[in-house]
Amino acid sequence: MSRVRLYFVPVLLSCAVLLTGACASQGVPTPTPDSKIIVKQSGGAGMLRVECRDRNYISNIADYIIEGTVVKVESKWDEDQTSIFTYSNLSIEKYVKGTPLGNSELQIVTPGGTVGDISQWVEDQPVLHEGKRVRIYLQENNGEFSIVCAQFGVEEIQPGF
């Protein structure tokens, strides 16, 4: 157990210290191209920025606000078997903000997850659950997408809303 804990501390520190989306693609396996919009996510900054607690701030800086249902969540080892990433597929139902991208599915790739009896936890990551309806606040930078303010840029939509 201590081996797992020591192994993952550098991942937490590197992402938290950068305070930007720069570590969003660090170590993330590149998915094969298909009809999904890929969102490479990393945490750290959301917990450190006071503005991220303000829903109006998140809405204003988001390029896209997308609502949909989480249809699949799967965690896998990277190619080197050194890190775990979780792949969460979202069926897009509605664009609240932004011009629709012409894709009906979004895949969010986050560091951390559980494979077998080994878990990796990375702070400030959105945790998605199959069958839940969510609203995702996205920013686009040079054709790459990330969630605004990490975990604060994902909210569960209660039935009836």
pLDDT of 156 reads 95
Chain segment 42-60, per-residue pLDDT in tens: 555 555 678 888 999 999 9
Residue 67 has pLDDT above 80, yes or no: yes
* Structural contact between residues 134 and 71, judged by C-beta atoms closer than 8 angstroms: no
* Confidence category of residue 35, pLDDT binned at 50, 70, 90: low
Chain mean pLDDT for the chain = 78
What are φ and ψ of residue 148, in 5° steps?
A: -65, 130
Q: Give dist(CA 58, CA 140) in Å, integer.
A: 14
CB 146 within 8 A of CB 153: no
| Confidence bin at 34 (pLDDT 50/70/90) | low
Each residue's pLDDT tens digit, 92-150? 999 999 999 888 999 999 999 999 999 998 888 889 999 999 999 999 988 889 999 98
pLDDT at 3 over 50: no
The rounded distance, in Å, linking the Cα atoms of 52 and 75 is 27
How confident is residue 161, by pLDDT bands cut at 50, 70 and 90? low
Dihedral of CA atoms 66, 108, 124, 51 in degrees, nearest 10, equals -30
Predicted confidence band at 18 (pLDDT cuts at 50, 70, 90)? Answer: very low
Checking if the pLDDT of 30 tops 50, the result is: no
- Tokens 């990393």 sit on residue: 42
Q: 13 pLDDT band (50/70/90 cuts)?
A: very low
Taking the C-alpha atoms of residue 85 and residue 60, their distance in angstroms, rounded to an integer, is 29
Q: Domain extents for the chain?
A: 2-156
* No. of helices (H) and no. of strands (E), the chain: 3, 9
